Amino acid sequence: MLVSNSPQFLRHFSTFNLLSTTMASSSSSLLLPSVSLNHHQLKTSSSVCFGTLKHGFRRINLDKSRVSMSLSAGSTTAIDDALFTDYKPTTAFLFPGQGAQAVGMGQEALKVPAAAELYNKANEILGFDILDVCINGPKEKLDSTVLSQPAIYVTSLAAVEILRARDGGQQIIDSVDVTCGLSLGEYTALAFSGAFSFEDGLKLVKLRGQAMQEAADAAKGAMVSIIGLDSDKVQQLCDAANEEVEEAEKVQIANFLCTGNYAVSGGVKGIEAVEAKAKSFKARMTVRLAVAGAFHTRFMNPALSQLESALSATEIKTPRIPVISNVDAQPHADPETIKKILARQVTSPVQWETTVKTLLSRGLVKSYELGPGKVIAGIVKRMDKTSPIENISA
């Protein structure tokens, strides 16, 4: 699907994925091939974990050059964070973020027991019926940062189960050798990769949404999508706008989606200055985004301490396949590094353009967008019209 520049599309295309603590003990974690819930095994464990080495998944070869052992008491295995540096992608799972949500999503999950069970598990964690919000809304409720993030996370992983239920679906899942997600979608990708369990991921996403909303309430900000300029021109536009506003109102590029579509984030007055100057920089159009605040900037600093605390208390493992970070467009293997980079993600620009370019340049054969909407498919097609991508919705 080619990216449309219509306001209706851009509202979904750019409102992107923006943006308790619990640690399931490794002895009680249930290892599953991705999202499926095995009811027989659930008798002995209530934790769902997406990563596994069963059903043909590639094993991570932790050879001696990549692993070092501490000789001190209570020794632990240290994983080289560069373990996945030389990854060669063939099949990718791509997960959407905030902005992809739409009332009615989740209906397909009702037809697949394993997908529906994920919503039941989520209800226990969230304390309310998330599927009802997904299907029935209202839109204003689903669009809130606090609810849209967990709703998209669960719906995207439900889409994995919908794919699994199709003929040949398990073979596709087994063939995936790289994954990533747009901002919020990075948490979904990490859950799919086995870095943490479904439950732990959902608790993190719930807290993330709450922390980002609180940060937005504390310092009023805004976001605008700039259409028709390359990143250098958008940076020049931001610099020009920043010359006219106070430090607290300054703006920056917050989301590098693809050439011709970048999101700028910052103080309300700074965003207004960007909008006023955009035409003089020959931007095709600007679209003010319906988000709670200035995501992926310093405006989200108040959310950091909560996220860092939650992440430090969560068990995170080395992913079984590369998961590309939004912060630096690189895969990370060391759990402690993953924790730090996930915390930084809410205040750092999203490097999605670099991520997709790298996947394509390294030989990606096919990708799948799993979850609501077709935002990611539009981005991929805009960057390479010949690259096959299939949407699996729930």
Q: Is 296 left (phi over 0), alpha (psi -120 to 50) or beta?
A: left
Q: In what order do the strands lie in the sheet with 178-181?
A: 323-324, 178-181, 91-95, 366-370, 389-392
β-partners of residue 139 are: none
Q: How far apart are CA 117 and CA 36, in angstroms?
A: 9
Q: How far apart are CA 96 and CA 195, in angstroms?
A: 18
Q: How far apart are CA 50 and CA 191, in angstroms?
A: 6
One of 183, 193, 265, 325 is an active-site residue; which one? 183
Residues 6+ apart with CB under 8 A from 340: none
Is 296 considered catalytic here? yes
Q: Produce one character per residue of 130-164: b if its CB has 16 or more CB atoms within 10 Å, e if not.
A: bbebbbeeeeeebbbbbbbbbbbbbbbbbbbbbbb
Is 348 considered catalytic here? no
Q: Give Cα separations from 129 to 124, 288, 333, 349, 372 (angstroms).
A: 9, 31, 35, 32, 18
One of 296, 325, 348, 393 is an active-site residue; which one? 296
Instruction: Scan for tokens 């310093």, then name that residue.
Output: 298
Dihedral angle sign, alpha carbons of residues 342, 344, 347, 349:
negative
Q: How far apart are CA 210 and CA 215, in angstroms?
A: 9
Q: Which residues are catalytic?
A: 183, 296
